[in-house]
Structure 1
Amino acid sequence: MKIFKSHFWYNKSQRNGIFFLLVLIIIVQVFIVFGNFSSDEIIETNQTELIAFHKQIDSLSLIEIENRKPKIYPFNPNYITDYKGEQLGMSLEEIDRLLAFRKTNKFINSKNEFQKITKVSDSLLTKISTYFKFPDWVVKQNQATKKGEVSYNSVYKSFEKKKVSTTDINKATLLDLQTINGIGEKLSERILNYKSKLQGFSINEQLYEVWGIEKQVVDKVLSTFKIIEKPLIKKKNVNTVSFKNLLKNPYIDYNLCKMIFNYRDEVAEFQSIEELKKIDGFPIEKYHRITLYLEAK
């Protein structure tokens, strides 16, 4: 008993402290059990400022969604590819009907004819036909036909009678190029601007490099125009040309220019222009184009 008594023997101040602690614990437990911690306060969510803020967020979200949609620019529906047709929402069957029609060397000249050939729905036609861009002579023919002034055949024949001033692609004018079906004012300007950048077309394949031109259109151009007189290009010596002047070569970018200069520093000088092919990473497919403007002396 003495052992247990030693553990439970407290003086008066200690007993008072224990009693006070027990009372405090009881009060806390009662407060937790019976206290009301829920809030009856109702937050007003339909305030004018909050509604306006939400509307602003919604409008910004709609603008962002609209900006992320792929942009559609005016195009000639005769040159729709599989990829382009899929972007427009056409089915594979509709695209195949168009491609089969074009293989007969015929052209679509109105949105109604486009629907007749492809059998697209009215809703899809309404959606994409606003971006159709036909050649000027087709637009004039359609307007004239509606007015009953002339028939399709008469307009088509008058277009066919247009003559070019030259068959040399390096001497062709804007108007000469616009006689080709599929080439309008903007595209003819791009062709002439690119010809100026190249100092003239030296090989037929350079026409395919014009931005935004379809392969079928280039084929038509080359069926009318040829490279009769090749441009006189003063070639630069790869051993003495400066970095800045070498960059003026239309087929050499900064990285390739740096590679050529690094190789030149290693070998002291090029013994022949064919040494370009020995440069690690040199684009062999561009060799014949690059050497139109370079030589080794």
Structure 2
Amino acid sequence: MRFREIIRDYFTFTRNERIGLTILLFLILVAFAANQLVFYFEKPGKADQEKFKQLLAMLEQKQENERARFRLRGSLFHFNPNTIDSLALDSLQLPFYVKKNLLAYRAKGGRFYADADFRKIYGMNDSVFEAIKPYLQLDKRKPTIYASERKPEQPLSSILEPGVKEPARPAIQPIEINAATAAELKTLYGIGDVLSSRIIKYRDLLGGFSTLEQLHEVYGLKPETIENILPYLKLDTGQVKQINVNFAEPDELARHPYVSWDAAKAIVDFRSGNGFMNDLQAIRLNKLMSEEEFQKIYPYLKTKN
């Protein structure tokens, strides 16, 4: 009997409660029906094709204005990176830091003889280089004529009066380029204060010349001047300063004109992950730099003290 009382107490409604539940159910049904009727009778608005076209034209015009403003910042034109002045360089469409580093490289005596030389500018990336590459106009390097290939000069005796002896010529001692002072370099024909200073600065930047051909990389030193002074120069490669790749930090490596920051970082990262290098060929075999870069920097690197 107790169970029936519990059921009656919880599931039996009074008259007022039954009326309230009925009204509540009615309101729920009305709200549900109204919600469905709104979607049934609502008609979608027609798309205004003209307004859409006008909006599309406005967006296209805005994009064109942005492109025009970008073009006004600079333009691409044919230029020689060895001779372009700062004013013309400023109007060239290149990142500011690339222009700055180009001028700094030239100020240190650097020159560009191949497209790959221009790619090595600090801050240059592949996309910028590919865009600018067709506009590069580089000087063609004249072949160097060494002393053994020079045509003999007309002997003085052939133009002297008969019976007049040719005066004795003073012996000229060749100058060792890696130890020469500015005063010694100025004794060479065509070398003055400015060029002697540039030769020494670039020599110090390299760590010494490994070949006399590198004189072509000295800013302002003309090929014909180099041709004239080569017979009076000698080279001691034993004085070339080498960098130990097993201990050098990226900054030290990247200070060398032949090493880009990316290559310096790649060498140090490879060393950190694989241990000390026993052979410099590891740089080439693991493509830590290009083949051309490796051949140029090879005389300036070492793996042991």
- TM-score bucket (shorter structure): 0.3 to 0.5
Q: RCO (CA 8 Å, sep 6+): is it higher in 1 or 2?
A: 2
- TM-score under structure 2 length normalisation: 0.39
